[in-house]
Amino acid sequence: MAIERIFKDEASEEKGERARMASFVGAMAIADLVKTTLGPKGMDKILQSTGRGREVTVTNDGATILKSLHIDNAAAKVLVDISKVQDDEVGDGTTSVVVLAGELLREAEKLVAAKIHPMTIISGYRMAAECARHALLQKVVDNKEDAETFRSDLTKIAMTTLSSKILCQDKDHFAKLAVDAVMRLKGSTNLESIQIIKKPGGSLKDSFLDDGFILDKKIGIGQPKRIENANILVANTAMDTDKVKIYGARVRVDSMSKVAEIEGAEKEKMREKVQKIISHGINCFVNRQLIYNFPEELFADAGILAIEHADFDGIERLALVTGGEIASTFDNPETVKLGHCKLIEEIMIGEDKLIRFSGVQMGEACTIVLRGASHHVLDEAERSLHDALCVLSQTVNDSRVLFGGGWPEMIMAKEVDELARKTPGKKSHAIEAFSRALLAIPTIIADNAGLDSAELVAQLRAEHHKEGCNAGIDVISGSVGDMAELGISEAFKVKQAVLLSATEAAEMILRVDEIITCAPRQRENRM
């Protein structure tokens, strides 16, 4: 008796070997796509949208590249997700995590072809990942107690993170900016109080850190350009009621004088609202919405600086850093929490005028102003700097540090190899495969720099059999170098996240033995 198909016509399913092949191939294709961006000599990708304006993004940030792709393959989507999570969690290592997961699957494919069951491979990978993590824990350095050394550790981590990005030419300058900004946070990982403003013009070297809060607005006409000891009211309210605000309302009048009366009443209403706002005892009023000429005039007469149409991000952040709250009604002045700062003044950056709030209540607030040749450069610089800030803020909390440049992978591979030799049964093949996958990362770093990877990785492996070895790949000189002397460091948290996420993702894809694609829902013809 033949079983009828249980799926709809357009639904499809792939089983067993074919499903596994589809998963492996999709995941490896994604890994191959981003692996050329890995390392200090990694290349950038141009992403061009097909939408209006054909926007172009130039980037080598793994998460940004993968986020922009529309992918059909189910297993490839798993890898895109782990790179997104890596980006949100620790900021850096987005490419490494995809490449490592891809390599683990490439090794697993060979094992499956050799008739080893996926579950055996998974349990081998589990043991290997635990062993690799343990190997790293043995080697971490923690200098939290010594402020001077810790700061230099942070600077090294920032420089290592930035060296694979567009900022690598001025990485000393930007590493210092990033470390200064993160040290002001005093251990918080909330990066909202670090504002990044992008202004085209000048070169990347002209970027600087300002210890106040900068709002990208101009000061109105006839208003004070400088205010000391400011009391700031941050509001989101309509200040443009010189027209009847009931939509669809019709007013019939029998003479022009009645129109004038309506206008007069509107003005009176506005004047009352402005009086209420002034009665809060403020000398700076920042509004999310427009402020029309009449209320602006009233504020100017009262000697109050009124800023209109501040962007929503700016408003939220301004309220946060000055210690105020966003108000929308003004009847009870005692319940409204005002923001305070020592000085408000107008500054020039390039051609533009901006408003700077310095001496804000939240001491950790600061603004990084990025300058650069074009919007594309600035966008990429912001992404790079954001990565560095994320990594540093995580490192301030979890201050364990490792060397970089393929050193951690060699350490892990060596320990995992030892484990494979001791483990009986088929699992040992999987554990050995895990160590080969780890070695792929230094191999790719060397390949991207145009070096002889087979030679270098073999030299590295020999070096690592000596005790207390700090050898890694020095891409600049094209040889094996001492990572401690070169000052190439990475955060333990990033490496651990890469290792665990990649293993879990590879495990998940390995478990698949059937892919079912649902039939699309038919749209009813509603004509």
Q: Which residues are catalytic?
A: 61, 94-95, 387
Strands across the sheet with 400-403, in order? 141-142, 400-403, 489-491
Paired strand residues for 341: 230, 360
Give dist(CA 26, CA 79) in Å, integer: 10
- Do 412 and 135 form a contact (C-beta atoms < 8 A)? yes
Query: Angle at the Cα of 389 (from 384 to 392), degrees rounded to 5?
Result: 125
The three-class DSSP label of residue 309 is coil
Residues 156, 185: Cα–Cα separation, whole Å: 19
Across 113-161, the runs of DSSP E, i.e. the strands, are: 141-142
Is beta strand 284-287 parallel, antiparallel or unpaired with respect to 305-307?
A: parallel
Amino acid at 328: S
439: amino acid identity, one letter: L
Determine the 3-state secondary structure of 10 from DSSP.
coil
- Spatial distance between the Cα atoms of 122 and 125, rounded to a whole number of angstroms: 5
Question: Which token pair is 473?
Answer: 């790949």
With 0-12 / 13-18 / 19 or more C-beta atoms within 10 angstroms meaning exposed / middle / buried, residue 314 is buried
Angle (nearest 5°) at CA 82 between 93 and 44: 50
Are 377 and 203 a contacting pair, CB within 8 Å?
A: no
Other beta carbons within 10 Å of 104: 30
Q: In angstroms, rounded to a whole number, what is the distance separating the alpha carbons of residues 490 and 403?
A: 6
- Provide the token pair at 56: 């172009």
- Integer Cα distance of 277 and 280 in angstroms: 6
